Amino acid sequence: MGRFNSKQLCIFACFLSNIDCAKILGVFILPGPSQYMAGSTLMKILAARGHEVTVVSVFGENNPPKNYRDVVLDGIYEKFTNDHQPNMFNRVSKDLLKPLEIHQMTMAIMENVFNHSKFQEFMNTKQEFDLVILEQLQTEALKYIAHHFEAPLIVYSAMDANYWTNPYQGNPEPPSYVPNVHLPYSCTMSFFQRLWNSLMYVYNLILREFLVHPQQEQLLHKYYPQAPSLDSMMYNVSLVLLNSDLSVYEPVPKVPSMVTIGGFHIKAPKALPEDLQRLLDEAEQGVVYFSMGSNLKSKNIPSQTRDFLLRTFAELKETVFWKFEDESLKNKPTNVVVRKWFPQNDVLAHRNIKLLITHGGIFSSMEAVYHGVPVLALPVFADQYVNSIRATLNGYARNIPFRELTEEKFREDLEELLRNPKYKANAERRSLIMKDKPLTSAENLIFHVEHVIRHKGAGHLRVAALDLNIFQYLLLDVITFMVCSVILSIFILKFLLRRLFNLVNKKKTKTH
């Protein structure tokens, strides 16, 4: 029997699955390991389904699965980490500067992508795709890729509905109860929080219209002069895949073209390495797992903070697993196990895990909830603050912003989480919510991606709000008309009454 090529294998796999095989392009160019992990996992799910996927990224797979092809934009990750990433533990950023920092970062990333020889070579190929999936983080210029390949576009967001996705789907985001992603607020806000949230809403709107869009338009046409206007492409999005779930996020509005797939990256736990399995099994008092994620490095924690963390750990009866990039850590207590890397999902699934200490990243937060593990969050930047606040409000966590971390506060919260059973009970309750679905997150992802492919863009999901300008959407034209009508009616009524009064007076004068 002859050897099948990749296209034939794809068709054969899709035939067995009773679906149409599709060629899907995924573009995940954010230079963060966790962001890439999410994007590659998403595309692997589609490849396992039988689709033929191509992934443009700054990383790449050492052992790509079947139907999975890499286009690696090498050098961008190294450039970004060297040029744009100081020690984040020492970083302080004001609320108003955060949107500008995101804009500057994404502009730098997109410039490097458009200018990369491998990207230019890829764009010059005559390939055909049935669908493009793009990670969305104020990267509207990259939506040109879908136009270039004449394919429907799906965007993926690493968080819930937010100001990076809402405008392009016509999704409402009333600042009265939907907090800006840069603010450490929940949906229940005080008066002054609602005031500041509203000001941030207007500020982001002004930035988007007068800075972000014009500069992205200029960048796009610098490399693709023949491209249509950015305005004609950036609203042409068939579907938004949101990495959110009601077990972790608060309920906010979502139009039909926005679908939650939070937890899609979580898989059934695999067998642990023998040494880790033994350590976990023999930890009669339980294990505390400590990881600051993949973008933050524990080795960069200031020495004074690191020392009191170790002193506090030494007082615990539990074993501590600490993801620490320098395994020669000095003054390490005997109950602390240091590794450069742990299989986090598999570790959290073990029955003896009692607590996760984390930076508050959304992927770690979801894994903790899925496995019913309480959380001590030490947020450092971005959405980590609001993720940590939500976890605290949901009753399975406590949070201390890293800049406010003290030895006394750390010890107090650590003891509270380990000794008070309510946090474990609330974590298990949230775990039940996450798992109580008709479809798993991965199945929901597959269904909606294939739905867009089957309906060639799924235009039936588009809401009419996208056809309105800002004045029409906010009913400012209607309000103006009503106010003018009332004012005009008052003037007419006043005029008529004056005329009537004058006529009455004339009649009275004649009678006398």
Spatial CA neighbour of 141 closest among 166, 113, 161: 113
Give yes or no for residue 402 having a pLDDT over 80. Answer: yes
90-99, 309-318, 434-443: segment of lowest average pLDDT: 90-99
Question: pLDDT over 70 for what percent of the chain?
Answer: 93
DSSP conformation letters of 258-311: EEE-TTTT--PPPPPPHHHHHHHHH-TT-EEEEE-TTTS-GGGS-HHHHHHHHH
Tell me the CATH class for 274-435: alpha beta
DSSP 175: T
Q: Where residue 13 falls among pLDDT bands split at 50, 70, 90?
A: very low
In the prediction, which pLDDT does 95 show?
66
Element (DSSP H or E) covering residue 241? strand 239-242
Neighbours of 103 (CB within 10 A): 17
Rounded CA-CA distance 439/257 in Å is 18
- What's the rounded mean pLDDT across residues 477-504? 92
In the prediction, which pLDDT does 14 show?
53
Amino acid in the structure at residue 23: K
Rounded CA-CA distance 328/299 in Å is 11
In the prediction, which pLDDT does 56 show?
97
In the prediction, which pLDDT does 7 show?
46
179-183, 238-242, 288-292, 391-395: segment of lowest average pLDDT: 179-183
Spatial CA neighbour of 259 closest among 449, 46, 63, 510: 449
pTM for the whole structure: 0.89
Tell me the CATH class for 6-174+233-264+440-467: alpha beta
Give yes or no for residue 84 having a pLDDT over 70. Answer: no
Three-state SS across 70-138? EEECCCHHHHHHHHCCCCHHHCCCCHHHHHHHHHHHHHHHHHHHHCCHHHHHHHCCCCCCCEEEEECCC
Q: Where are the alpha helices (DSSP H) in 373-406?
A: 384-393
C-alpha dist (Å) from residue 364 to 246, 427, 437: 16, 13, 21
Domains in the chain: boundaries:
6-174+233-264+440-467, 274-435, 473-511
Write the pLDDT tens digit of every residue in 37-70: 999 999 999 999 999 999 999 999 999 999 999 9
Amino acid in the structure at residue 281: D
Average pLDDT over the chain, rounded to an integer:
91
Q: Where residue 17 falls among pLDDT bands split at 50, 70, 90?
A: very low
Higher-scoring residue by pLDDT: 87, 438: 438
The answer to whether residues 378 and 401 touch, using CB atoms and an 8 Å cutoff, is: yes
Topology agreement, domain 6-174+233-264+440-467 and domain 274-435: yes
Q: Where residue 85 falls among pLDDT bands split at 50, 70, 90?
A: low
Residues whose CB is less than 8 angstroms from the CB of residue 364 and which lie 6 or more positions away in sequence, other chains included:
291, 293, 344, 356, 358
Please, which residues bridge with residue 344 across strands? none
Rounded CA-CA distance 416/432 in Å is 23
Residues whose CB is less than 8 angstroms from the CB of residue 88 and which lie 6 or more positions away in sequence, other chains included:
295, 296, 300, 380, 381
Please, which residues bridge with residue 301 across strands? none
